[in-house]
Amino acid sequence: MAKVAFIGLGNMGGGMAANLVKAGFDVTAFDLSSAALQASVEAGCSAATSAAESVANADYVVSMLPNGAIVESIYIDNDKLLDVIPKAALVIDCSTIAAQNSRRLASEANNRGIRAIDAPVSGGVAAADAGTLAFMCGGKEADFEAARDVLSAMGANLFLAGDSGAGQVAKMCNNMLLAVHMVGTAESLQLGVDNGLDPAVLSEIMLNSSGANWSLEKYNPYPGVMENAPASRNYEGGFMNMLMLKDLGLALDAATGSKSSVPMGSLARSLYALHAGKGNEQRDFSSIIEQFKKGE
């Protein structure tokens, strides 16, 4: 049975580690939160007392951490996991971080004879629990293929975007586009309502016209139009505004570095910063429609 060390058992990592157990992997887990660690033990993982202990004898090291500073701290600068991970192991970092963080991790790993890929995900907590995430990977093709069994246990769609860091670039482009079409969908629906249309009728018309897009099809931001969307449960659950803001920040930082013009992404970031700053950090990102309601 292949051994997986799993570090970072939060909203996403908890379900991902549980799916690895279900697929027959021998998972040793570590998280700073004892509650998160306990939940993963209940899902069938063994608990380690430190990150270093979790990676001993690992065939794969999977991490799902909040940001690039923590990823670099754990693997390179403080916990120095790369100095204790077995040489034959494959590091699969699924955290959403800047491409340069992923490139540094891969290069420091390769310098020690360890393989590493970046594998950020799309899909959110429900997909993490269901094992239906999309993985956008960056790294060598052989390493991507070596990760296939582990990734398949946690996801439904696996993509190799290019070399190290390319998975992060694909993820930030995707999420910038998601923010832009969510904002556009929200303001269009509100415009229609302000001018006397029923949001469900307008949604159906646009869905079957040239305005159709993923936000309208799967994630309607207007309350009551789509029964299972976060909009119909006061924007609880789903994808938090603070995470969208983080992803837009990564996109704009990258755009600054590449001198790319991203006017729609910049505007979307400003709108999400405004919205999150009004006490909406923890609410779903489709709640951005409230910025377009009169009197709000």
Piece of 11-19, 215-223, 253-261, 281-289 that binds ligand NAD (CB under 6 A): 11-19
Q: How far is residue 21's CA from residue 15's CA, in Å, rounded to a whole number? A: 10
Residue recorded with tokens 């990676």: 55
Residue 145: C-alpha distances to residues 34, 41, 138, 152, 162 (Å): 33, 29, 12, 11, 13
**Residues 47/27, Cβ–Cβ less than 8 Å:** no
Buried b (16+ CB within 10 A) or exposed e, 130-152: ebebbbbbbbbeebbebbeebbe
Q: How far is residue 285's CA from residue 152's CA, in Å, rounded to a whole number? A: 28
Write each residue from 156 to 185 as x if it is in contact with ligand NAD (CB under 6 A), else as -, in one continuous string.
Answer: ------------------------------
In terms of CB distance, is 61 or 202 closer to ligand NAD?
61
Residue recorded with tokens 């306990």: 38
Instruction: Tell me: does residue 7 bind ligand NAD (CB under 6 A).
Output: yes
Please report, for the chain, how many H helices and E strands are present, in that order.
Answer: 12, 9
Among 20, 21, 31, 48, binds ligand NAD (CB under 6 A): 31
Q: Give me the torsion for CA of 285, 245, 19, 34, rounded to 10°.
A: -110
In terms of CB distance, is 9 or 61 closer to ligand NAD?
9
Half-sphere exposure of 210 (CA within 13 A, CB side): 0
Number of residues that bind ligand NAD (CB under 6 A): 26
Is the Cα torsion angle 160, 123, 248, 190 positive or negative in sign? positive
Shortest gap between Cβ of 96 and ligand NAD (angstroms)?
Answer: 4
Q: How far is residue 23's CA from residue 237's CA, in Å, rounded to a whole number? A: 26
Instruction: Tell me: does residue 95 bind ligand NAD (CB under 6 A).
Output: yes
Shortest gap between Cβ of 33 and ligand NAD (angstroms)?
Answer: 4
Among 29, 121, 150, 225, binds ligand NAD (CB under 6 A): 121
Shortest gap between Cβ of 199 and ligand NAD (angstroms)?
Answer: 25
Q: How far is residue 285's CA from residue 271's CA, in Å, rounded to a whole number? A: 11
Which residue among 3, 22, 80, 171 is the active-site one?
A: 171
Among 64, 109, 186, 189, binds ligand NAD (CB under 6 A): 64
Binders of ligand NAD among residues 238 to 277 (CB under 6 A) are 239, 243, 246
In terms of CB distance, is 14 or 192 closer to ligand NAD?
14
Query: Among this protein's residues, is 294 annotated catalytic?
Result: no
Binders of ligand NAD among residues 38 to 57 (CB under 6 A) are 51
Instruction: Tell me: does residue 9 bind ligand NAD (CB under 6 A).
Output: yes
Chain positions contacting ligand NAD, by CB under 6 A: 7-13, 30-33, 36, 51, 64-66, 70, 74, 95-96, 121, 124-125, 239, 243, 246
Residues with catalytic roles: 171
